[in-house]
Structure 1
């Protein structure tokens, strides 16, 4: 944050200590201490770890970064591999240190991206040698959601006859909090990871069978969508699902990371169970879709698993549309919306200079910064305050065609710092400035085209254009001189004839 450069903090400061350096320093004092690791970053925290995450918990790394962000590698894959190697804490980009008597918190996960009625704070707490998991609704509107979770837990136990599977036991701690038993053991995602590394197809299929068993509890029923189904998964043509296998209790979040292997297989997170018929194949689709370990398989091997679950390409298309609708049902707030609101871009390093355009709109003391990445076209709208001079400052020398500039739909005059103007085309050797004097309106629209942007050839082009202009001027002067000489000779010849 102290520098606009990538990794700028490391350049401008020599007072930053790593996790290991802090750890050694505090140990030398003899004090008790505890580290907390906000993830994915300090500004947009959705999980706080104290220990390395389990495999499958790192599924997204979207952050509320301040400016453009360079895409140098696959962040999710990199962090999962770092985590497996035991270096998660070393590579965390921020941490909180508690010195003294540490709290009993081992992990907290916030679901703030959801609608208020689904927002939860899930905590893993340790008291002595005992651990527990608490799920607390953040808003009062979430109490009904907790009621549903508790209801479905009892319904599952009522119907389940399979001694090999179970839902993680819970009890109501208070109106706004459920307490779950902490189940020790490996999650299925970790087991799947090992099977993928060994290319053990039979093991992968056996773990899929566990998911199948957990999804096959209750009374089997035909697929018959009701209004509840349409509310969650959208209204579309579902005729292809008419012969799909469905059960009374449809927990759609049976991903591998939510199943712990102990003396039996426990589903530890069952928030998303609905009062409608949902095809078991959709549940299995989500299991395959959201597995980090399975994403490493060859496409043909992964496709074979979809086929094993009876999911063809047509069903995939329907299930993906259902998934989009489900995500919309849970949350109105998308990471992409946040990025758009803050004008944030993710760019590959080689794209940075040529694609990103940083534009500042300045009115008096107010300055707003925008980032655009939409090709050479420059068709943008800006909100402005009437009666105050406007300056648009574009970062990056350019050759810019300004076809039209209007305020509230009416063309306005403007000035620039262009080094060369050729009709509607403006050649800038410095950051372009477009100035409008006290516009009488609220909306500024500019329609233009970047012929070149941040291109090292612009200086040479302007030099050549100026040279062409000079040559044209010299040519015109020469032609004028020749015309003058010619006229003079003609006059002399005519005079001779007269004599």
Structure 2
């Protein structure tokens, strides 16, 4: 069996600490293994998880990945279909709001099928108070019992209009408000991707009752002195994917003439037409003020058109205060994003229009930061740019280089890396049998040994030297100190 992915949940109390591993056999079949890190003398957390499967299967009409008991834990078949979280992200990326709404409504239907059909007055029991704390609200609510509180999007797969739940670790045999479970899913999604979908459910992500429940649950899992992953975002403001409002304008300044157009509250591309009736235009005065906030935009078109329908493409002349530009994407960290025209002149023009087609992809500094980190990784898809950037990072000394995958493939390609001047600082591998051994005089480490070092300020550039790029990338994205991830195929 080959280990593809390993995740340790060591931030929890000892009785809840687990290891999750994805393995692959010689036939290419994959399985998920869950084991306890600490073996208790009492019925274990994983025993409860197996019982949860039996309970949920008998009570609800829902697909679950079936566990099998092993001597050391549980083993599951890999779920069929696509990650529901990835499907949601794909809809947002492609601006498919119809399908996005359909998926979210289907998710709500899934939750509704497991909740009470009518609202009831919620009186929390003592067990609820021990885990989630007091619940001050007195209104009637829909509840789940038994309740799987971890129905986050990444724990669900979707295929042929059917959901499959892949994780039922946190099941409670008590009444739990339905909206708290939905709130958790939305909070986790916003935490991971900085995208607020709460408007589709009419749930406030800054709801103090649910925030307090979550903090108490974190203490139940991790102990009062530790912090659960989501807790760091519970108190900070939620940044919406689309924060444009009725006062958002795009403004064109030309020869002291200011024209402004309202920006629609939409993910889609928008066309703006500015009519100019003045002759003797000095295009050195051209300024297009895009928004009064940091943003990521795509400029699909920018051209001048006169009354004879002659068109001059202005995009080659664009100059901006963007912190980063790749293709038609402009990343503005400034709260006053603007573009001007560089070295553009025209002999004589009168009665013309400036036409712009722009898509506002992301608004606000937090959303921008997330987008920039994503694009840094996408940057390596271009081989020529990739090699130059790798050498730049190496020469600055700010990033330590890690080769991930101490395989025969790395041995075959080793000299090519060295010829490029890419000498690793570390080599790591997921195979525990290789840990502590040496590869060309480099000691082989686990990923945790490298990326969980005490020096949290150190940033790493990881070159994946194996064929399991997607799986390893998913694993690496759980660490906060990795600046770049590169496939070896994009280098040599």
TM range (shorter): 0.3 to 0.5
Structure number, greater radius of gyration: 1
TM-score of the aligned structures, taking structure 2 as reference length: 0.42
TM-score of the aligned structures, taking structure 1 as reference length: 0.41
